[in-house]
Amino acid sequence: MPNPLSYLTDQLENWRQAGTYQRLRVLESACLPVANFDGREVIHLASNNYLGLADHPKLVEAECEAARKYGAGSGAVRTISGTMSLHMELERRIAAFKNVEACVVFQSGFAANAGTVAAILTPEDHIISDELNHASIIDGCRLSKAKIHVFRHRDAAHAEEKLAALADTPGRKLLITDGVFSMDGDIGALPQLTELAERYGAIMMVDDAHASGVLGRNGRGTVDHFNLHGRVHIQVGTLSKAVGVLGGYVCGSRDLIEFLYHRARPFLFSTSHPPAVAAACIAAFEILEKEPERIEKLWSNTRFFQKGLHENGLSTGASETPITPIMVGEAAMAHAFSRALFEEGVYATGIGYPTVPQGKARIRTIVTAAHTEDVLSRAIEIIARVAKRMGIVAHMAAN
């Protein structure tokens, strides 16, 4: 009998031929600014550990203490018996931080987005969504079976066209955007979209995965950054990026959160965080509130790094945040660039189709507050040298 999974083997072979097959790089140290991957010490520009909290002693200590006191696991889903006092404390803490009525924590940002969109909409409803929104939003939209209307990236006028066309159509309307876009590092059109949501009676939702801990006072996100307090109905954030641990959360009205307690499927059907995770997140929020200088350092490092790349003729695309793509063009070239950089001591991931559109492949870098300018200077020098050798600077000039 032929192997019924042989088509997978064929697909893998195609990717190898195309140069887009990716082996997993294995991290053998903590997630440090200079880290060990695959037996090599490299400048680590591939994490989302914006504030360097992933190995912060206070978080690690909080984890150990919680594990000793409450054990390794919670034992159940939240709605059965897996709601621990630490989960409730974390939710109260985040709600206070974000200045909203209530908060629910999910196992991941992915679960928060997909679980929320799928829970609050039905097939009779409509979603108006930025074309570059994150996969977890797209999956939530699909799971909800609501009708999906995609507007051009950050194009509020196009979003308005969609809303206007739906004005007489029954069903709820959800307007949704990433706060910061994960592949380009540009900021969503939240102020304009919020105004549209108000004008057309739509629900406004923002996914602040890359804005949490990065934008707004003490990292409160895009709603704070744009001073839109009380006007965005649903704010999603992640605990897996700047917060340095794992998880996602939804902030909004008390009734929204109570509804999600009853209907969000990842909340109902998947076990809650180990107590250590909740404790580490609580410690991280304490640091966000007490040490805003970490965020300042993140931004000054970002300016330093991007300026250095520009001075070497490299394009960082549309980036307005610490997410710094270095535009390359073709996917195979991006992966080759990434591999060559790794050999020279810099780890930055190559990203191509289907994660980004054809012809817009790039390596994606993120500096953190933990990098020093010395280390970043070294990274700039290596990136510029390898890019030149591979003709990448010339490629951008030709465009």
Binding residues for ligand PLP (CB under 6 A) = 108-110, 113, 134, 136, 178, 182, 207, 209-210, 238, 240, 248
- Rounded to a whole number of angstroms, the minimum distance from the CB of residue 183 to ligand PLP is 9
Q: Of all residues in this chain, which one has the CB nearest to ligand PLP in the complex?
A: 109
Is 182 known to be catalytic?
A: yes
Cα distances from 288 to residues 50, 108, 222, in angstroms, run: 12, 20, 15
Half-sphere exposure of 231 (CA within 13 A, CB side): 17
DSSP string, 233-280: SEEEEESSSTT-S--EEEEE-HHHHHHHHHH-HHHHHSBPPPHHHHHH
CB closer to ligand PLP, 146 vs 277: 277
CB closer to ligand PLP, 24 vs 397: 24
- Rounded to a whole number of angstroms, the minimum distance from the CB of residue 294 to ligand PLP is 20
CB closer to ligand PLP, 266 vs 329: 266
- Rounded to a whole number of angstroms, the minimum distance from the CB of residue 257 to ligand PLP is 18
CB closer to ligand PLP, 134 vs 387: 134
User: Residue by residue, what is the 3-state secondary structure of 112-162?
Assistant: HHHHHHHHHCCCCCEEEEECCCCHHHHHHHHHHCCEEEEECCCCHHHHHHH
Which residues are 174's β-sheet partners? Answer: 127, 203
Round to whole Å and give the CA distance between 75 and 90: 18
| The Cα angle at residue 301 between residues 309 and 99, in degrees rounded to 5 | 130
- Rounded to a whole number of angstroms, the minimum distance from the CB of residue 393 to ligand PLP is 29
| The Cα angle at residue 320 between residues 315 and 326, in degrees rounded to 5 | 25
Phi-psi region of 121 (alpha: psi -120 to 50; beta: other; left: phi over 0): beta
- Rounded to a whole number of angstroms, the minimum distance from the CB of residue 303 to ligand PLP is 22
Is 44 known to be catalytic?
A: no
- Rounded to a whole number of angstroms, the minimum distance from the CB of residue 103 to ligand PLP is 15
C-beta separation of 236 from 116 below 8 A:
yes
CB atoms within 10 A of CB 15: 11
Among 182, 240, 315, 319, the active-site one is 182
CB closer to ligand PLP, 116 vs 136: 136
SS3 label, residue 69? helix
Round to whole Å and give the CA distance between 331 and 352: 4
CB closer to ligand PLP, 84 vs 114: 114
Among 98, 153, 210, 233, the active-site one is 210
* Catalytic residue set: 182, 210, 241
